[in-house]
Amino acid sequence: MKLGLAIEELHRSENHLARVLLAVSDRHKADHEVFYVARDIAGWSQRHVQELARIGADFGVDLDPEPEGEPGILEKVQQATSDLLGRRPEPGLLLLADLRHVHREAAGVSLDWELLAQAAQGARKRELLNLAERCHPDTLRQMRWANAKLKESATQALVS
C-alpha cells in the first residue's frame, strides 16, 4: 500500500531531524538554551519515530521503533578534525548555519506530515490521521523555534 511508503519516508525524515537536532545540541554546548532546547525537541522526533513504527505495522511496513540517537563516532571525529584544522567557522555563524539546517529539515518533515494527513483522510484511516494531527504540531514548533532563534542570533552574528 502506498500509505506504507509515506509512513516509511516520514519515519526516515523524523529520524534524520532528531539526529540533526542532537548534533546541533552537541556543537553548541556553551549556549545552554540551544543545548537543552535542541535536545528536548529532538525527543519529539524520536517519539514520532516510535509511533510511526508502531502504526507502520498496520500498513505492512516493518520499521525500527528505536530512534537512531546521538551522532556516531565518525561524525564526531570529522567535527574534531575540522576544529583542529581551523575550518570551524566563528561560533555565531556556525549557529546560524545549524539553525537554518534545522529549519529546512523541520519544514520538510512538516510537509511529510501534511501529505500523510491528506492521504489518511482520503483513505479514511482515522488512526493514522489522528497520529498526524497529534505529531505535526510538534514539527511546526521545532521549525518555529529554529526561526525565532535565527532572528534572535542573526544581528549579532552578522554585524559584529
Total domains in the chain come to 1
Model pTM score: 0.86
CA distances to 53, 66, 113 from 134, in Å: 15, 19, 10
Which residues span the domain enclosing 146? 3-159
pLDDT of residue 77: 46
Determine the average pLDDT of the residues in 70-85: 50
What is the Cα–Cα distance from 69 to 124, expressed in whole angstroms?
A: 33
What are the tens digits of pLDDT across the range 109-141? 999 999 999 999 999 999 999 999 999 999 999
The CATH number of residue 117's host domain is: 1.20.1260.10
